[in-house]
Structure formats: structure tokens, C-alpha cells
């Protein structure tokens, strides 16, 4: 049975043993082996939001609930991340910087659909956009290798794909009903 407090402690221990994402990815994979137990522990998604579970300078764990058909523009984290889906689906488009582009333009470089039970590690240099392509809420546990809420990072204008500073307040507003 999934225990949220033990999950947090296991993630903290994994980061203490290795500051990379590999240990945390194993912890998240074990948890997503029983997504219904994770849902029971964090609660059935009822409304979209970004709910912190744990936060420190070395590790942030959040419960992310995506609205139906919601999309977040391309962005980076400037830290590794591990994403585990406990209900629904999250589609990621991965982007790369266009070499020597003075405005920081990006181009699509790949994609990945994550379904219930799936886990995806993201390196610290990954740029991605996220869509919930289904007509119901999607629930995911996101674990970050740093302070997700305070890190300086970038986002890209969704129309012309130019780089700009990440606006956490605007992103949080997208999750509001």
C-alpha cells in the first residue's frame, strides 16, 4: 500500500544518496506500480491545481492535477524531474534550442505520451510542453531535484517560440478554475 509520508522519505533518502534523478525515478516507479493506491493516498482529483507535498532546496514533490484539454507552453526546469501518472494522461512535446539563434528559438525534437502508471525522468536541460489531451482530470506526482517554486528558468512564447523568463504566477493561474 502506498504511504505518502514514506514516499517523501524515500525520495529524500534517494537524493541524499545520489543527487541525480535515478534513485528518485526508482521510488516513483515503485509508487506508480499501484496507481490506485497513490490516488487513494492523495485523493481522487476533483479540481486542477499544483499542490506542494514537500519542498526544500534539494527536492520538491508536487501533486499536479491537469484540467481537461489543458496545455502548458514550452518551458524548462533547470533541474531534473521525474513524472509519474496516477490517473489520466499527460502528453509531452520535447524541444531543443536552435543552435546560435539570438532569440533563443526552439524546435520540436520528440514527444511522449504518459498514461496511468507511466513514469518519465527528465534531465535538467530538458525543454518540454505538456498537454492533458483527454476530457477528464489527469493526476500526476512530479518530483524535482531542487526548489521548483523558486528556480529561475525560461518559458517560450507558444506562438513564435521565443525565450522569455518563466512566469510562475501565470502558470498557477492556468490551473485555477
Rounded percentage of the chain residues whose pLDDT exceeds 70: 99
Local confidence band at 171 (pLDDT 50, 70, 90 cut-offs): confident
Rounded percentage of the chain residues whose pLDDT exceeds 90: 91
Kindly report which listed range (75-84, 128-137, 139-148, 160-169) carries the lowest average pLDDT score. 160-169
> pTM of the entire structure?
0.94
Q: Which of 127, 55, 41 is nearest to 84 (CA)?
A: 41
Per-residue pLDDT at 98 exceeds 70: yes
Q: How far apart are CA 42 and CA 39, in angstroms?
A: 5
HEC profile of 93-136:
EEEEECCCCCCCCEEEEEEEEEECCCEEEECCCCEEEEECCCCC
Q: Are 164 and 75 in contact (CB under 8 A)?
A: no
At 64 the pLDDT is 97
Local confidence band at 177 (pLDDT 50, 70, 90 cut-offs): low
Residue 63 host element (H or E) = strand 60-66
51-77 tens-digit pLDDT: 999 999 999 999 999 999 999 999 999
Q: How far apart are CA 56 and CA 77, in angstroms?
A: 15
At 176 the pLDDT is 80
Per-residue pLDDT at 27 exceeds 70: yes
Per-residue CA distances from 131 to 3, 11, 90 (Å): 28, 26, 6
Q: Are 109 and 95 in contact (CB under 8 A)?
A: yes
At 146 the pLDDT is 97
At 103 the pLDDT is 84
Mean pLDDT, range 20-33, rounded to an integer: 97
Sign of the dihedral through C-alpha 32, 60, 113, 98: negative
* Domains of the chain, first to last: 4-175 (2.60.120.10)
Amino acid at each position: 500500500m502506498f504511504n505518502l509520508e514514506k514516499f517523501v522519505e524515500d525520495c529524500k533518502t534517494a537524493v541524499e544518496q545520489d543527487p541525480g534523478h535515478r534513485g528518485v525515478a526508482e521510488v516513483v516507479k515503485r509508487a506508480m506500480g499501484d496507481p490506485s493506491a497513490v490516488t487513494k493516498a492523495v485523493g481522487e482529483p476533483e479540481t486542477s491545481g499544483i499542490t506542494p507535498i514537500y519542498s526544500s532546496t534539494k527536492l520538491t514533490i508536487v501533486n499536479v492535477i491537469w484540467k481537461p484539454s489543458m496545455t502548458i507552453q514550452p518551458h524548462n526546469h533547470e533541474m531534473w524531474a521525474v513524472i509519474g501518472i496516477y490517473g489520466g494522461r499527460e502528453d509531452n512535446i520535447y524541444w531543443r534550442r536552435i543552435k546560435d539563434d539570438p532569440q533563443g528559438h526552439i524546435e520540436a525534437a520528440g514527444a511522449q505520451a504518459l498514461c496511468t502508471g507511466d513514469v518519465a525522468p527528465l534531465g535538467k536541460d530538458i525543454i518540454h510542453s505538456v498537454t492533458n489531451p483527454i476530457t477528464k482530470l489527469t493526476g500526476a506526482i512530479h518530483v524535482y531535484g531542487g526548489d521548483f517554486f523558486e528556480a529561475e528558468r525560461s518559458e517560450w512564447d507558444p506562438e513564435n517560440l521565443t525565450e522569455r523568463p518563466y512566469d510562475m504566477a501565470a502558470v498557477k493561474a492556468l490551473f485555477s478554475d
